[in-house]
Amino acid sequence: MIVGVPKEIKNNENRVSITPAGAYTLVNAGHQVIVETKAGEGSGFMDEEYISAGAELAANAADVFAKANMIVKVKEYVESEYQYLREDQLVFTYLHIANDASLADALLESKTTGIAYETIRGKNGGLPLLAPMSEVAGRMSVQVGAYMLQNYNGGSGVLLGGVPGVMPGKVVVVGGGVVGLNAAKVATGMGADVTVFDINAERMAYIDDISGGRIHTQFNNPYNLKEAVKDADLVIGAVLIPGAKAPKVVTEDMVKEMKKGSVIVDVAIDQGGCVETSTKITTHDNPCFEKHGVIHYSVANMPGAVSRTSTIALSSSTLPYVLKLADKGVDALREDADFMAGLNTYKGKVTFKGVADALGREYTDPKAALQEA
Ligand SMILES: NC(=O)c1ccc[n+]([C@@H]2O[C@H](COP(=O)([O-])OP(=O)(O)OC[C@H]3O[C@@H](n4cnc5c(N)ncnc54)[C@H](O)[C@@H]3O)[C@@H](O)[C@H]2O)c1
């Protein structure tokens, strides 16, 4: 297989889909890897490292897309990349087409095989190619929250860890999944007073166990949450209902009662946000806005700002799948139902139910679609 690695061109996206270590693994397995020049630079991986790993360099994106049978990317295609989609090419990346009808159309019209990281299932449940980025975003949410609490950013001037003789800051994490637990760990490590709100008793028991009770947990209901949000210095939104828009569990009334200069980091913004006042997606260039005296941070691609860590985390998780696809093409999906769940578009058909429903398109079972081929 000829595996192509284009440079990401989305605003402030510094990740790259395959590291030199990944290229080395693929080349040793008998594949050819073509990397666009400077594709890895934003993550600290230089062209020479790819060459030493056995990859070839291409001068521009058009060259990579023209030569490869399989494209591995990080982010979904932006409009200027649609021209490269074609029927005999397999695309493996975050696609998020339930929210992007124009990319869905481009994939369907070109009949490209579109396999999405975000819908591949894990052997023990979960979404293994989403989890590494949730870990990054969860840990980062406390870092950015602590920074925004500083006075010169408009924050209330609270140091999350407090100091001896001064109480620590209060952090409320709503949703104790991968993002929430990682946020809670970092906030606890800083010395903050942390409470995680969830509706899943088992999950809260797990968090209580692994933290030795240092992370407090509370059943989420509007009454409990209202009291906690009122007192919080930092609120982190991390609720996910798979396949659905995030519910607005932190209401505008709750935000109105928060202290001036407190901070909300709505990590769930990529699913619409779980805080009613997180009304817009922001970018790393201009990540915050203020509402009711509270600073809101709502960047939808947080991991892009810590590209070195994110690239290594993501590419290490995707590599086993990349290798299987390079070895076997779509046969790799036929052999593994969890991997097949990643197939979103195939020969002009929508093969993921959630995407078909969200876009109001006809759904074709992926197994049937692959059998017809
Ligand atoms: N902004 C970014 O850059 C970025 C990066 C990674 C992930 N995310 C997003 O962060 C969100 C969380 O992801 P995750 O991987 O932690 O998901 P997850 O499935 O691991 O966790 C979600 C948690 O929410 C809980 N929950 C569901 N309904 C709830 C409710 N009403 N009240 C309280 N808790 C509730 C669930 O029980 C679960 O524990 C997702 O929307 C994900 O896409 C955003």
75 carries a ligand binding annotation: yes
> Is the per-residue pLDDT at 268 higher than 80?
yes
Cα separation, 170 vs 159, whole angstroms: 10
How high is the pLDDT of residue 358? 87
DSSP letters for 332-365: HHHT-HHHHTTEEEETTEE--HHHHHHHT--B--
The CB of 177 under 6 Å from ligand 1? The reply is yes
> Is 301 labelled a binding residue?
yes
**The Cα angle at residue 105 between residues 102 and 109, in degrees rounded to 5:** 145
Rounded-to-integer distance, Cα 235 and Cα 55, Å? 44
Local confidence band at 169 (pLDDT 50, 70, 90 cut-offs):
very high
For residue 335, what are its two tokens?
Answer: 């052999």
Task: Tell me the pLDDT tens digit for each residue of 337-346.
Answer: 999 999 999 9
Rg (CA), the chain: 22
> Looking at ligand 1, which atom is closest to the CA of residue 304?
3
Residue 372: what pLDDT? 79
Distance 30 CA to ligand 1 centre (A): 39
Confidence of residue 150 (pLDDT cuts 50, 70, 90): very high
Residue 79, phi-psi category: left (phi > 0), alpha (psi -120 to 50), beta (remainder): alpha
3-state helix, strand, coil in the chain (%, to 5): 45, 20, 40
Q: Is 106 in the pocket of ligand 1 (CB under 6 A)?
A: no
Give dist(CA 313, CA 128) in Å, integer.
11
Cβ atoms of 1 and 31 within 8 Å: the answer is: yes
11 compared with 253, residue with greater pLDDT: 253
Q: Residues 313, 21: contact at Cβ < 8 Å?
A: no
Distance 247 CA to ligand 1 centre (A): 11
Mutate which of 218, 239, 265, 296 for ligand 1? The one with the most ligand atoms within 8 Å of its CB, which is: 239
Q: Exposed (0-12), middle (13-18) or buried (19+): which is 65, by Cβ within 10 Å? A: buried
Ligand 1 center from residue 93 Cα (angstroms): 20
Instruction: Please state, in angstroms and rounded to a whole number, the distance separating the CA atoms of residues 273 and 266.
Output: 6
Identify whether the C-beta of residue 294 lies closer than 8 Å to the C-beta of residue 255: yes
- 287 Cβ contact list (under 8 Å, min separation 6): 144, 297, 298, 299
| pLDDT of amino acid 243 | 64
User: Residue 34 is inside which H or E element, if any?
Assistant: strand 32-36
95-132 per-position pLDDT tens digit = 989 878 999 999 999 999 999 999 999 998 889 999 99
Q: Which long-range contacts does 154-158 make (Cβ < 8 Å, 24+ apart)?
A: 154/261, 154/288, 154/290, 154/295, 155/261, 155/262, 155/263, 155/295, 156/233, 156/259, 156/260, 156/261, 156/262, 157/261, 158/233
**C-beta of 201 in contact with ligand 1 (< 6 A):** no
How is residue 36 written in tokens?
């666009």
Q: Is 183 within 8 Å of 193 (Cβ atoms)?
A: no
The yes-or-no answer on residue 296 being catalytic is no
Torsion, Cα 312 149 168 205, to 10 degrees, reads -50
pLDDT > 80? residue 373: no
Domains of the chain, each with CATH number or no CATH = 2-116+306-372 (3.40.50.720), 130-305 (3.40.50.720)
Q: Distance (Å, rounded) from C-alpha 119 to C-alpha 117? A: 6
Sheet holding 56-58, edge to edge: 56-58, 32-36, 2-5, 70-72, 90-93, 113-116, 343-346, 349-350
In DSSP terms, 202 is beta-bridged to: none
- What is the number of other CB atoms lying within 10 angstroms of the CB of residue 284? 14
Q: Which two tokens stand for residue 275?
A: 């805080």
Q: Whose CA is nearest to atom 39 of ligand 1?
A: 177
Mark whether 96 is an active-site residue: yes
pLDDT tens digits, one per residue of 202-237: 999 999 999 999 999 999 999 999 999 999 999 999
Q: What percent of the chain has pLDDT over 70?
A: 99
Name the residue with the closest Cα to ligand 1, atom 20.
177
Minimal-distance CA residue to ligand 1 atom 38: 177
User: pLDDT by residue (tens digit) across 29-85?
Assistant: 999 999 999 999 999 999 999 999 999 999 999 999 999 999 999 999 999 999 999
As to burial, measured by CB atoms within 10 angstroms (0-12 exposed, 13-18 middle, 19+ buried), residue 177 is buried
- Ramachandran angles phi, psi of 303, nearest 5°: -60, -20
**131-148 and 307-328 helices cross at what angle (nearest 10)?**
170
Q: Is the pLDDT of residue 154 over 90?
A: yes
Query: 281 in ligand 1 pocket by Cβ < 6 Å?
Result: no
- Identify whether the C-beta of residue 267 lies closer than 8 Å to the C-beta of residue 285: no
Give the nearest ligand 1 atom to 301 CA. Answer: 3
